[in-house]
Structure 1
Amino acid sequence: MTKVAVIGCGGMGNIHADRYRSMPGAKLVGVCDVNEAAASALGAAAGVPWFRTAAELLEATKPDAASIAVPTYLHAALIKEVADRGVHVICEKPLALTSEEAEEAVRYCADRGVRLFVGHVVRFFPSYEKLAEQVRPLGGEAGGVYHAKRAGSHPGLVQPWFKDADKSGGVILDLMIHDIDFILGTFGEAVEVFAFNRKTNDIDYASATFRFKNGTIAQLEAFWGYPGAFHTSFEYAAAGGIVRGESDSSESLRVRRSAPPGSGSGFVETPQSVLLEDPYYRELAHFLHCIETGEAPLVTAFDALEAVRWAEAALESAREKRPVKPRKEEKPA
């Protein structure tokens, strides 16, 4: 039985606590938040003790692992505080506000012998898993063209810190980073990014084009302030066919394969239904399994660092109005 605690009792903290409570092999032992009303409400709902600070929580409950679900600008300090106790860290994305902070967090946890996991949950959505499986059959070594979009209302309307780029990183670091992590994990080595960012008090929109070593071009869009429901979509097109998916179609995946030469029709369409599963449950269960077994996670700490590094490059590109190639970092052994 793995004892887990949750630091941060906002929306994501509630999700983590709820999933742990329903997970065989996991025992939620406590929650904390500087907002006493939020901490006490989640503690009461989950039937566990609540605390005002991480120090009080960690000292009283002695967890094996702790979820960090607080605003991004607090990640780096809390990762260190949890690691100093010898407790494994499960941190919500992004890992940190800057690549320097992210590198330090990875190194800090490694030096103390604790595991560091980062919640890039898109990798656990069934539709995106199926997409990743289709990339090589359809694109082969030559790669293809990818377009993805995610858009919704501005989170700063609910939590004002999102509108402060020094605390959230803005739409690229907080929202687009979902897709940045996915393309880096799916298409291999990226070599360059060219980005645009349009910001007002009410909207934060970004578009970024990533070029990959194998020739794949990935176009990402992220939009805070979209006047409609939150939604996501993606399309991958290559010589072997097209894969499309969108949240509005309940995570269904549509694959159109190129027909063999001389077959008459242009495409053979193969509808595919994807079983709906809760990706947060799958992600957290996977992380706890890795703690118990010592296995490497689907999303490594280095992957999370790379996502921050490329998000940072996109931000630089948008500021400088030019393509950017971030410094290359060797993956630790």
Structure 2
Amino acid sequence: MIAPYPVKLIVVGAGLIGPRHAQHVHDNPITELMAIIDPQPDTKQIAQQLHTLHFPSISKFIEYCNSHKLPYPDGAIVCTPNHTHVKVAGELASYGIHLLVEKPIGSTPEEAKSLKVYTSLKNVRVLVGHHRRFNPYIMEAKRNLHKCGEIVGVQGSWMLCKPQDYFDVAPWRTKSCAGGVLLINLVHDLDLLQFLFGPIHRIYAELLPKRRDHEADEGAALTIKFKNGISGTFICSDNVTSPFNFENATGENPMIPHHNEINGIYRIFGSKGTLSLPDMTIFHQSHMKNSTWLEPLLQEQIEFDVAKLPFDSQLNHFVDVIRGNEDPYCCIDDGISALLCIDAVLKSIDTGMPVIVEDVKNIKSNDEALTLKELRFHLSQTGEASIPVRKFLTNNYASLKTQSNYKLPILIRESFGIPPSLTARFEKGREVKNSLDGLDEAGVAKALADILKQ
């Protein structure tokens, strides 16, 4: 079904990036911000400022929709901590909600592959939030790459200093399993490099010196070989004083000052010219038959509209993805490919050797990532509404245990006066709760069958 305008969206996660997403959804005339979901109490104030609802969890939001007979949202923007992306996305997909999942798509390629399999089964469309693909500087650079001729090399940097409160408000950013500049920030640039030049074949990486007392890395220097033969270097750090990074140079993030005089955070070297970003200057000798160092180079400034915000472009594209008008500009496989590059970086650091990047096609899904772990029936001992559930359990409990080879815990929780419900707990804590109120015995059986399909 094609979603009508405005497209109803929720934002899950109200940390550093969530409120920005929520503001863009609120301001966009073709989208409606249905709710913000985050367990932190101060999220309520953010929601009030945006004239929307706040819920502490997805299950509470779903309960609200069911009790008010409201349709579920058309889409959700997932911007929770990195290691929860697959868990949260899987829970939303179980309700048929289309997804924009912030990068990285998952903690591991295998986990992300399991999300791809699951969302495909649920007919849920997924856009991965590598939003810099929508940045006007990047889009214009891609359109003008041909002016460089045959591209030979690329040089890039992402260097700045994150303040201590960046880590204080989200301690997970200090952990090696989810934080660090490689997984949080370098993954953006590796995605952009593949977006511009194609798949990366091989990476060699050396860690930069650390100055913080954290588990997580503070950056690395890389040499990169692309499958098409292009070679490059890239250096990244979040603990140096420098404006040579995407945010400072482009003004993309309103929280980070824009230094519009910065140039050369990316330099693309080709047989006919060199393109510098974000100043969008091409150095060339197109007026000459053969290039030579004995003659001066001409400078050409590429003029284009820089006013379009990447988050707005990404949001408009997400609406088109939801409506079935476009395929995701950055799909789960693209997100997995960026993760595989990060994996290669980490393996290279561990071994001290260059590492070939694994092909996305070779990645097997981690079936455990979304596996059913437990069923819980909640009912009243004496309530009339719970009679069909009690009958269903009396008649079917033994066969349910047999069908699962007695490996699946099936719990019965009784409490006076509560409405009957069924909760399924999946791997990594994801839970799906269905109300059984008002259902007869056959309806309870169908509700169980539906939840087992997830």
Q: Same fold (TM over 0.5)?
A: yes
The answer for the alignment partner of 2:299 in structure 1 is: 269
- The structure number with the bigger radius of gyration is 2
Q: 1:185 to 1:139 in 2, by over 3 A?
A: same
Structure 2 Cα separation of the partners of residues 321 and 145 of structure 1: 23
Alignment partner of 1:256 out of 254, 276, 283: 283
The answer for the alignment partner of 1:249 in structure 2 is: none
Alignment partner of 2:133 out of 112, 123, 131: 123
Alignment partner of 1:55 out of 42, 47, 59: 59
Deviations 1:225-250 (A, max 9, x none): 1224573311101111011114xxxx
Matched, 1:44 2:72: no
The answer for the alignment partner of 2:371 in structure 1 is: none
TM-score of the two chains, using structure 1 as the length reference: 0.91
Alignment partner of 1:156 out of 163, 167, 171: 167
Alignment partner of 1:208 out of 222, 235, 238: 222
Q: Which runs of 5+ in 2 are unaligned?
A: 66-71, 247-264, 364-454
Deviates more, 1:128-137 or 1:231-240: 128-137
Structure 2 Cα separation of the partners of residues 157 and 208 of structure 1: 29
The answer for the alignment partner of 1:241 in structure 2 is: 273
Deviations 1:143-173 (A, max 9, x none): 32111111222342553221101122x2111
Q: 1:58 to 1:269 in 2, by over 3 A?
A: farther
Deviations 1:232-283 (A, max 9, x none): 311101111011114xxxxx31111233227994322111233222111111
Matched, 1:134 2:144: yes
Matched, 1:301 2:332: yes
How far off is 1:20 after superposition? 0.6
SS of structure 2 residue aligned to 1:191: strand
Q: 1:46 to 1:206 in 2, by over 3 A?
A: same
Structure 1 stretches (4+) deviating beyond 6 angstroms?
none
SS of structure 2 residue aligned to 1:330: helix
SS of structure 2 residue aligned to 1:313: helix
Structure 2 Cα separation of the partners of residues 66 and 253 of structure 1: 34
The answer for the alignment partner of 1:290 in structure 2 is: 321
Structure 2 Cα separation of the partners of residues 42 and 13 of structure 1: 10
Query: Is the CA contact (8 Å cut-off) linking 1:176 and 1:220 kept in structure 2?
Result: no
The letter of the residue matching 2:270 is A
Alignment partner of 2:154 out of 143, 146, 153: 146
Deviations 1:55-112 (A, max 9, x none): 2224435211001111101111101101111100111111111111111111211121
RMSD, aligned α-carbons: 2.1
Matched, 1:227 2:241: yes
Structure 2 Cα separation of the partners of residues 274 and 218 of structure 1: 27
Matched, 1:110 2:120: yes
Structure 2 Cα separation of the partners of residues 329 and 166 of structure 1: 21
User: Kindly, what percent of the aligned residue pairs are identical?
Assistant: 23
SS of structure 2 residue aligned to 1:200: coil
Structure 1 Cα separation of the partners of residues 310 and 343 of structure 2: 26
The answer for the alignment partner of 1:320 in structure 2 is: 351
The answer for the alignment partner of 2:360 in structure 1 is: 329
Q: 1:295 to 1:331 in 2, by over 3 A?
A: farther
The letter of the residue matching 2:44 is S
The answer for the alignment partner of 2:309 in structure 1 is: 278
Structure 1 Cα separation of the partners of residues 269 and 359 of structure 2: 28
Deviations 1:166-192 (A, max 9, x none): 122x21111011111111122123211
Matched, 1:101 2:125: no
Q: 1:209 to 1:281 in 2, by over 3 A?
A: same
Q: Tell me how many residue pairs correspond in the alignment.
A: 323
Which structure has the higher relative contact order (CA within 8 Å, separation 6+)? 1
Query: Is the CA contact (8 Å cut-off) linking 1:302 and 1:331 kept in structure 2?
Result: no
Q: 1:9 to 1:19 in 2, by over 3 A?
A: same
How far off is 1:213 after superposition? 2.0
